[in-house]
């Protein structure tokens, strides 16, 4: 390769302290050809450091050609390379030399792996913006043409993503050529190329002149929407949104709507799914008149489609469709043309369809108003609230605030809450468990006052349920409620009721008291825990049931970090010592465990660690790598030395790992280097770093 140094000039041949500042760069360069994929990947990710050390000219003339020649590598290495090159313009000399980055990226845009090609196209699009119009036509447009006429489909698919970025700044003659190339790709023999063209059709249409859109893009859209491959047809639906935004109502009706109607009734469910998924965007693009005449009937068909995936996608769009309808006549349209189909979906056989509908149906109440909500929507909400699918119930409970705003809390309590209470007392414990999990969410929707009146007693009743899973969930539920409503609410409402259970005849309920204290102590804070909860826990240490006593020890260990020194020393420690002498072996064990934790806590409180940090060295500049150069300073050399310093330690560690025997830190530069006589890194094999001035000493290093 041009500029390569002669034999015997590698990093191992350099001697003295003057040759160590660029040694780490040699390590990185050498790793570009290492057999270990991870080392190559690490070096690629630090490609900017190598380029900074080489300088802009050597990066252009040696590093980039080397990268272009060695483009065949593992996919993860190529992906990292494609990403790095997108930000390389400044390292090759600025926009005037941006075209130097095109050859390696062109090669990357033709590889077989899709993610690598996509990243290369992304970097090419980024670099295209840095080309001048003259450079764009001289270098970038020819690249697009080469890719578009390549023998392999990989290059042609990559070309599809580049037309829209070079078209706006090209001359009229070149624009005609670009449109011709795009037309040929839209009718390519390979389905993958047609898919790529269809996916970029809308983006390309946005940068074209209106006449070209009508005369060229619309026919392409019609052909792609009738393609034999459904994967091409569904992408054409996506392009329809962008094309519709560019045309007038008359042109839309004549040029686009026949194709869109055909897509909404396509034989492939995937195409119909895409129409349902893009329905809101299509509705906004075509306007209210076409929506009423064409889209509403199409939407009705999608809501009763034979495929559940299509019905679910359409159900997701119900609220957006209704919101985007014109205010005049909106209510009538919804009640007569949409609501009958929604009622059928409430009892759909597929749970995904019901869940999708439940996530949006509550939003209709704000559109239809109070009377329609009470008369038509509340029965649907109740039916979904009793649905066997947990996700459907969760979606209804999650959006109760929408209904609350419209019909008021009183009406809500009379209609939906009885259904919630009924589920909370269901004979099946799993149903009760599901409602408990929704309770914090429901509490946030309804507010503290309403919760205390209607649901507080329900939450306390769960604490004495005969199923342990319910009691455990109820305990966690209390903790979440305290976090939501605050410690004052807990002190007045929850804590007294929990502590009363400490004298319950059933030992399981007494243990639940301890579990609640464990959960509530952190949320309630030190004062409430010390004054109200701790005395009850200490009193329960004398319980007749061993299970309660060892849970007392566990509770004291749990709440210990919240208590102060006096409480630990004077109240907790004596009780734990007494439990440590208990006749039950489990009580002894947990008491000793708690004693150890309390003792450790006391030691920390008695001798708190001193805060502070070691002061920085005088005059140290933590941002030295980013510091601008001073007057007269050789900034190129300074940048290279800083780059070397940043990677030095890591590079020498890598050298050690790969066979270097010893290393030291240079007393002059502070950069690690190989000791004299140590086995040097194998000779690099690509490029030559050339002669660099390092502290007045000339230093030559080779890339192979």
Cα separation values, 592 from 346, 540, 561, 574, Å? 58, 17, 16, 12
Q: Which pLDDT does position 72 carry in this prediction?
A: 66
Please state, in angstroms and rounded to a whole number, the distance separating the CA atoms of residues 363 and 369.
11
Would 592 be classed as within a structural domain?
yes
209: left (phi over 0), alpha (psi -120 to 50) or beta: beta
**Contacts (Cβ under 8 Å, ≥6 apart) of 70:** 32, 33, 686
Is 597 contained in some domain?
Answer: yes
Whether 259 is in a domain gets the answer: no
Considering the chain, what is the average pLDDT of its residues?
Answer: 79
- Report yes or no on 600 lying in a domain: yes
First and final CA of the chain: distance in angstroms? Answer: 9
Element (H, E) at 702: strand 697-702
pLDDT number for residue 268? 92
- What b/e string do you get for 629-642 counting C-beta neighbours within 10 Å, with b at 16 or more? eeeeeeeebeebbb
The number of distinct structural domains making up the chain is: 1
Cα 461 to Cα 421, 431, 458: the distances in Å are 12, 15, 5
Tell me if 576 is assigned to some domain: yes
Give a yes or no: residue 683 inside a domain.
Answer: no
What sign has the CA pseudo-torsion 396, 402, 406, 410? positive
Nearest to 288 by CA among 331, 311, 317, 322: 322
DSSP string, 673-687: EEPTTSPPPPPP-S-
Q: What CATH number is associated with residue 543?
A: 1.25.10.10
Residue 209 lies in a domain: no
Report pLDDT for 157.
93
**Rounded Cα distance, 661 and 680, in Å:** 8
Whole domain around residue 530: which residue ranges? 486-605
Cα–Cα distance measured from residue 27 to residue 3, given in angstroms and rounded to the nearest whole number: 19
| Chain centroid to CA 545 | 50
**Sequential DSSP letters for 77-128:** HHHHHHHHHTT-GGGTTSGGGGGGGHHHHHHHTTSS-HHHHHHHHHHHHHHH
Residue 107 exposure: Cα atoms within 13 Å on the Cβ side: 17
With respect to residue 258, please indicate whether it lies within any of the assigned structural domains: no
> CA 345, CA 315: separation in Å to the nearest integer?
8
Low-confidence ranges of the chain (pLDDT < 70): 1-29, 70-73, 409, 607-704
The residues that bridge with 672 in the sheet, in sequence order, are 665
pLDDT for residue 35: 77
Only one residue has tokens 């509770």, namely: 555
Phi, psi for 619 (deg, rounded to 5) = 80, 5
Which residue spans within 278-319 are E strands per DSSP?
Answer: none
Got the DSSP string for 136-183?
A: IIIIIHHHHHHHHT-SSHHHHHHHHTTHHHHSTTS-HHHHHHHHHHHH
């Amino acid at each position: 390769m041009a500029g390569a140094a002669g034999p015997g000039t590698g990093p191992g041949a350099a001697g003295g302290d003057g040759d160590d500042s660029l040694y780490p760069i040699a390590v990185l360069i050498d790793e570009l050809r290492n057999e270990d994929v991870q080392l190559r990947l690490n070096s690629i990710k630090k490609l900017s450091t190598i380029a900074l050390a080489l300088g802009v000219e050597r990066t252009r003339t040696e590093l980039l050609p080397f990268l272009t020649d060695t483009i065949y590598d593992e996919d993860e290495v190529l992906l990292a390379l494609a990403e790095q090159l997108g930000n390389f313009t400044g390292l090759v000399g600025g926009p005037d030399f941006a075209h130097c980055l095109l050859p390696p990226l062109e090669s990357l845009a033709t590889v077989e792996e899709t993610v690598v090609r996509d990243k290369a196209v992304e970097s090419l699009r980024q670099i295209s913006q840095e080309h001048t119009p003259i450079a764009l036509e001289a270098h970038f447009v020819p690249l697009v043409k080469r890719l578009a006429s390549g023998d392999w489909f990989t290059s042609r698919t990559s070309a599809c993503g580049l037309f829209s970025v070079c078209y706006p700044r090209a001359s009229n003659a070149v624009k005609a050529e670009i449109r011709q190339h795009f037309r040929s790709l839209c009718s390519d023999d390979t389905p993958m190329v047609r898919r790529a063209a269809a996916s970029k059709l809308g983006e390309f249409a946005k940068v074209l002149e209106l006449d070209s859109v009508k005369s060229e893009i619309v026919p392409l859209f019609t052909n792609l929407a009738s393609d034999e491959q459904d994967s091409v047809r569904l992408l054409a639906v996506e392009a329809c949104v962008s094309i519709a935004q560019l045309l007038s109502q008359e042109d839309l009706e004549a040029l686009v709507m026949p194709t869109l109607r055909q897509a909404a009734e396509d034989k492939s469910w995937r195409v119909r799914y895409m129409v349902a998924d893009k329905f809101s965007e299509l509705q906004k693009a075509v306007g209210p008149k076409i929506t009423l005449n064409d889209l509403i009937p199409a939407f009705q068909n999608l809501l009763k489609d034979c495929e559940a995936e299509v019905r679910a996608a359409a159900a997701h769009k119900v609220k957006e469709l209704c919101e985007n309808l014109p205010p005049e006549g909106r209510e009538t349209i919804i009640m007569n043309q949409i609501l009958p189909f929604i009622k059928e979906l409430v009892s759909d056989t597929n749970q995904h369809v019901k869940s999708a509908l439940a996530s949006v149906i509550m939003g209709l109440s704000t559109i239809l108003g109070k009377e329609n909500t009470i008369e038509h929507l509340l029965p649907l909400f109740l039916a979904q609230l009793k649905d066997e699918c947990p996700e459907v119930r969760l979606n209804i409970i999650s959006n109760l605030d929408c209904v609350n705003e419209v019909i008021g809390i009183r009406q809500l309590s009379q209609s939906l809450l009885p259904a919630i209470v009924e589920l909370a007392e269901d004979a099946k414990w799993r149903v009760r468990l599901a409602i408990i999990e929704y309770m914090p969410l429901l509490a946030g929707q309804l507010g503290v006052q309403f919760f205390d009146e209607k649901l507080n007693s329900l939450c306390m009743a769960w604490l004495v349920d005969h199923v342990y899973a319910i009691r455990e969930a109820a305990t966690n539920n209390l903790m979440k409620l305290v976090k939501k409503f605050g410690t004052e609410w807990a002190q007045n409402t929850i804590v007294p009721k929990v502590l009363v259970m400490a004298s319950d005849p059933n030992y399981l309920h007494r243990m639940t008291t301890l579990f609640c204290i464990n959960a509530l102590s952190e949320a309630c804070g030190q004062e409430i825990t010390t004054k109200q909860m701790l005395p009850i826990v200490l009193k329960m240490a004398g319980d007749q049931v061993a299970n309660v006593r060892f849970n007392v020890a566990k509770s004291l260990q749990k709440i210990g970090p919240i208590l102060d020194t006096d409480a630990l020393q004077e109240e907790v420690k004596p009780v734990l010592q007494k439990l440590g002498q208990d006749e039950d072996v489990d009580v002894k064990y947990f008491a000793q465990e708690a004693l150890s934790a309390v003792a450790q806590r006391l030691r920390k409180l008695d001798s708190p660690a001193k805060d502070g940090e070691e002061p920085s060295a005088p005059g140290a500049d933590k941002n030295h790598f980013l510091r601008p150069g001073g007057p007269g300073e050789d900034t190129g050399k300074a940048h290279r030395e800083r780059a070397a310093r940043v990677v030095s330690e890591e590079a020498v560690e890598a050298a050690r790992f790969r066979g270097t025997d010893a290393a030291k830190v240079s007393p002059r530069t502070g950069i690690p280097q190989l000791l004299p006589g140590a086995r040097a890194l194998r000779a690099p094999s690509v490029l030559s770093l050339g002669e660099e001035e390092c502290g007045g000493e000339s230093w030559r290093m080779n890339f192979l």
